[in-house]
Amino acid sequence: MYLTAIIDVYSRKTMGWNLSNSMTKEWSCDLVNDTIEKHGVPEILNSG
């Protein structure tokens, strides 16, 4: 299982998270898009 979480570094709040059996680009992009729809577009988006 793979866990991806999107965290607001300033407030340390988890903005979005998801579990998957495989790590695919589509899965990660879907999480980012869903989080943006729910919370709005961030000023900075850093991934690594």
DSSP-assigned states of every residue in 5-39: EEEETTTTEEEEEEEESS--HHHHHHHHHHHHHHH
pLDDT for the residue 13? 96
CA distance 35 to 18: 11
Q: What is the pLDDT of residues 2-41, one digit of tens each?
A: 999 999 989 999 999 999 999 899 998 999 999 999 999 9
Q: What's the pLDDT score for residue 21? A: 94
Q: Give the distance from CA 25 to its chain's centroid.
A: 12
pLDDT of residue 15: 95
pLDDT at 47: 79
What band does 46 get if pLDDT is binned at 50, 70 and 90? confident
pTM above 0.85, yes or no: no
Q: Are 34 and 16 in contact (CB under 8 A)?
A: yes
